[in-house]
């Protein structure tokens, strides 16, 4: 058995199954292609299976690929929503950060990034270049600084 034999026998059936799952022709094509790539790397195993097991293996691989993509998409969407919420709440804190003297009460480890972001209007990438740290570190520090401000709001306002 070769990959060409598998492709000839199952490509159409797998494509229809993938279309049913994905509801998108391009995504279905990608799922079928990735399924055959996996099959090619497991050709020795597939040769040992009877035709029904082989069919089941291919369908299960395609379904697992689809589910993995769905989960990854959901995680990415949740991350975008979280970042959007944090950005909105950070913007709502911005006027408080600008209030006279408040920035001076913030611990030194947060003072600089807050000043650069909310007073100077720098992006996290610009701050990162200036501080010599990754942009993700700057965003993390900003997040921690905003959390600190929320917790200590009543003490410093």
pLDDT of residue 57: 97
3-state secondary structure the chain: CCHHHHHHHHHHHHHHHHHHHHCCHHHHHHHHHHHHHHHHHCHHHHHHCCHHHHHHHHHHHHHHHHHHHHHHHHHHHHHHHHHHHHHHHHHHHHHHHHCCCHHHHCCHHHHHHHHHHHHCCCCHHHHHHHHCCCHHHHHHHHHHHHHHHHHHHHHHC
pTM (2 d.p.): 0.56
Residues of the domain holding 17:
3-77
With beta carbons less than 8 A apart as the criterion, state whether 57 and 49 touch. yes
pLDDT of residue 86: 65
**Is there a single domain that holds both residue 61 and residue 125?**
no
**Is there a single domain that holds both residue 73 and residue 7?**
yes
CA–CA gap between residue 44 and residue 70 (Å, rounded) = 29
**Is there a single domain that holds both residue 53 and residue 103?**
no
pLDDT of residue 16: 97
**Is there a single domain that holds both residue 72 and residue 127?**
no
Please identify which residue in the block is written with the tokens 């022709």. 25
**Is there a single domain that holds both residue 109 and residue 148?**
yes
Question: Is the backbone of residue 46 left (phi > 0), alpha (psi -120 to 50) or beta?
Answer: alpha
- Residue 129 belongs to domain with CATH number: 1.10.10.10
pLDDT of residue 107: 81
Q: What is the number of domains present in the chain?
A: 2
Over the chain (157 residues), the average pLDDT of each successive run of 10 is: 92 97 95 96 94 97 95 78 64 52 74 82 88 88 82 64
Contacts of the segment 46-50: beta carbons below 8 A, 24+ positions apart: 46/1, 46/6, 47/1
- Spacing of C-alpha 24 from chain mean position: 21
pLDDT of residue 79: 65
């Amino acid at each position: 058995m070769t990959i060409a034999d598998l492709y000839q026998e199952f490509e159409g059936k797998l494509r229809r199954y993938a279309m049913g799952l994905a509801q998108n022709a391009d995504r279905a094509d990608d799922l079928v292609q990735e399924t055959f790539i996996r099959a090619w790397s497991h050709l020795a195993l597939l040769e040992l299976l009877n035709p029904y097991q082989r069919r089941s293996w291919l369908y299960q691989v395609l379904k697992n690929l689809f589910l993995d993509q769905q989960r990854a998409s959901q995680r990415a969407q949740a991350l975008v929503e979280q970042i959007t919420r944090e950005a909105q709440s950070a913007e709502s804190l911005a006027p408080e950060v600008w209030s006279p003297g408040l920035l001076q009460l913030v611990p030194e480890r947060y003072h600089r990034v807050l000043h650069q972001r909310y007073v100077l209007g720098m992006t996290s990438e610009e701050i990162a270049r200036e501080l010599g740290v990754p942009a993700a570190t700057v965003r993390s520090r900003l997040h921690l600084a905003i959390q600190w401000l929320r917790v200590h709001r009543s003490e410093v306002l």
